[in-house]
Structure 1
Amino acid sequence: MGTQFVLSEYINLSMAQAVYDKLEDGTFTGRIPSCPGVLAFGTTLRQCEDELRSTLEDWILLGLKLGHKLPVIANINLNREARHDSMGAV
């Protein structure tokens, strides 16, 4: 993969899996099947996509904070234990 922005790449790859539907009232709904509970609505497709991205970001941050197991997306695993290296003398 070679990217240094792992979280950004994870979000972008997750968003690439998004599924959108147009509702009977003309509004839109979006979801990411591999990320349970990530769902959004919008009056336009663009607004729905923006809302879905925001929901996904919040979902990831909350999941990391609470220690929830997040799905591995395209071999990006955010579930690894944090490694704390010594800062040594600063």
Structure 2
Amino acid sequence: MLTQYIQSALSRSCYKQLEDQTWFAEIPGFEGVWANAETVEACRAELAEVLEEWLLLKTCDRDQLPT
């Protein structure tokens, strides 16, 4: 269930290449979840890690998760 939630959230990710040629990604509706890396692949991996950590914090704080 958690894996499906993460994959669904990541499928909504928005990526853009910045002027310095690095990649920036965020997930609409997941405030504070973003990543920046040298390649789009590294950016996606970092975003997944940030999302997992964010979800753990939200769960520990008993905050509502985005649907």
**TM class by smaller structure:** over 0.9
Which residue of structure 1 lines up, in the alignment, with residue 22 of structure 2? 27
Which residue of structure 2 lines up, in the alignment, with residue 11 of structure 1? 6
SS in 2 for 1:69: coil
Q: Which has the higher contact order (CA 8 A, sep 6+)?
A: 2
SS in 2 for 1:41: strand
Question: In the alignment, which of 23, 47, 58 is matched to residue 53 of structure 2?
Answer: 58
Q: Following the alignment from structure 1 to structure 2, what is the Cα–Cα distance between the partners of residues 13 and 35?
A: 12
Is there any run of 5+ residues in structure 1 with no aligned partner, and where?
A: 1-5, 73-90
More helix by share: 2
Identity, % of aligned pairs? 36
Q: Following the alignment from structure 2 to structure 1, what is the Cα–Cα distance between the partners of residues 37 and 28?
A: 18
Tell me by how many angstroms 1:23 deviates. Answer: 0.2
SS in 2 for 1:37: coil
Question: In the alignment, which of 41, 45, 48 is matched to residue 40 of structure 2?
Answer: 45
CA RMSD across the alignment: 0.5
Aligned length: 67
